[in-house]
Amino acid sequence: MPWASPLRHNCAPAVPGALTPLPAEPAVTTNRVIVTRPAREAAHWVEQLAARGHAATALPLIAIGACTDPGARAAIARARAQLDSYRAAMFVSGNAVDYFFEQKEPLALTETAPSAIKTRAWAPGPGTLRALLRAGVPLDCIDSPAPDATQFDSESLWQQVATQVRAGDRILIVRGCSEGAEPGPGIGRDWLARQIEQAGATVEFVVAYTRGAPRLTPEQTTLAHAAAGDGSWWLLSSSEALAHLASAAPGLALHTARALATHPRIAQAARAAGFGSVHECRPALDDVVASIESAA
């Protein structure tokens, strides 16, 4: 399994829960939600929102793909082979997890005694945590912000993991890169890297995937124009997605459009893009639903 099979014996066993009756089908409201996350994440959110009674439609504004650069792929392979030499590996998103582990070969940790394996997996939010679990990383090897954290970002993650970092440690950050852009660390990751370095550790970045602008179909373009003026909620989780919206659907009239932004930086970008009404909420299902229902 990915991560390290020697770690699995340290995991607490799952506690079976009692079976409960299936809930009644929720009534669907008229507050349609436009989910702009990448396709796989958007599908998950559409399903979860529908289960809470909110009609939702996926309109992915970021296209995700594997990084094909030979140098970047070689760096990923080296990092995988040496994973036990890092104090921790931070994955910036669920996509970072998926593409880091895509090679399917077992990680080269089997020669290390289980008691000597110290590598932690850092997740900035619940989506990344779920991806790590899917990849086979034991729950007790993962650190992430508390479920009730004000935000799911690098700052909240650092509050949980700062005490782990020691002088001389190596920390791996697995991230994506925008197509056609220089592979810089990124806003949140740059801040986290500075904190790690100030603690005396070394940061190493590897690029596992690329982010690009989507090519909207005619149906998706029609959806975007309709949703800009029909009272739909645009669920925004990336400033980059907003930039893609402007280029993919030029001339979109957003002055009456409503947005739910999952971070203050995204809210600022939404206002700059022309959204008439912008609300902020955490990127958690309960918070998104509460924001929609309180504004109804």
Q: What are phi and psi of 177, to 5 degrees?
A: -140, 135
The fraction of the chain above a pLDDT of 70, given in percent, is 81
Tokens of 158: 């650092």
Quick: pLDDT tens for 66-113.
Answer: 998 899 999 999 999 999 999 999 999 999 999 999 855 444 443 443
CATH number of 29-62+215-294: 3.40.50.10090
148 pLDDT exceeds 90? no
**Range with the lowest mean pLDDT among 114-123, 181-190, 246-255?**
181-190
Query: Which is more confidently placed, 197 or 12?
Result: 197
Q: Cα 82 to the chain's mean position, in Å?
A: 24
Report which residue type is found at 56.
A
Report which residue type is found at 208.
A
Give yes or no for a contact between 87 and 164, defined as CB atoms under 8 angstroms apart: yes
The contacts of residue 251 (CB under 8 Å, 6+ apart) are: none
Angle formed by the axes of helices 239-248 and 264-273, nearest 10°: 20
pLDDT at 181: 54
Query: Which is more confidently placed, 17 or 97?
Result: 97
The contacts of residue 151 (CB under 8 Å, 6+ apart) are: 145, 263, 282
Start and end residues for every CATH 3.40.50.10090 domain found in the chain: 29-62+215-294, 65-212
pLDDT at 197: 96
The contacts of residue 29 (CB under 8 Å, 6+ apart) are: 53, 54, 55, 292, 293, 296
pLDDT tier, 29 (very low <50, low <70, confident <90, very high otherwise): very low
pLDDT at 103: 58
Q: State the chain's mean pLDDT as an integer.
A: 84
Cα torsion angle, 178, 251, 293, 31, sign = negative
pLDDT at 211: 93
pLDDT at 229: 94
pLDDT tier, 201 (very low <50, low <70, confident <90, very high otherwise): very high
First to last CA, the chain: 46
Fold of 65-212: Rossmann fold (3.40.50)
Rounded CA-CA distance 235/240 in Å is 13
Alpha-helical regions (H) of the chain: 39-51, 70-81, 94-100, 126-134, 154-161, 187-198, 218-227, 239-248, 264-273, 285-294
Quick: pLDDT tens for 151-176.
Answer: 888 999 999 999 999 999 999 999 99
Conformation bin of residue 69: beta by default, left when phi > 0, alpha when psi is -120 to 50: beta
> DSSP readout, 108-121?
TTTTS-GGG---EE
Report which residue type is found at 30.
T
* SS3 at position 172: strand
pLDDT at 7: 33
The fraction of the chain above a pLDDT of 90, given in percent, is 69
Rounded CA-CA distance 184/186 in Å is 6
Cα torsion angle, 245, 256, 287, 43, sign = negative
Q: Whole-prediction pTM value?
A: 0.79
Q: Match 């990336």 to its residue by tokens.
A: 238
The partner residues of 202 in beta bridges, in order of sequence, read: 170
pLDDT tier, 189 (very low <50, low <70, confident <90, very high otherwise): low
pLDDT tier, 190 (very low <50, low <70, confident <90, very high otherwise): confident
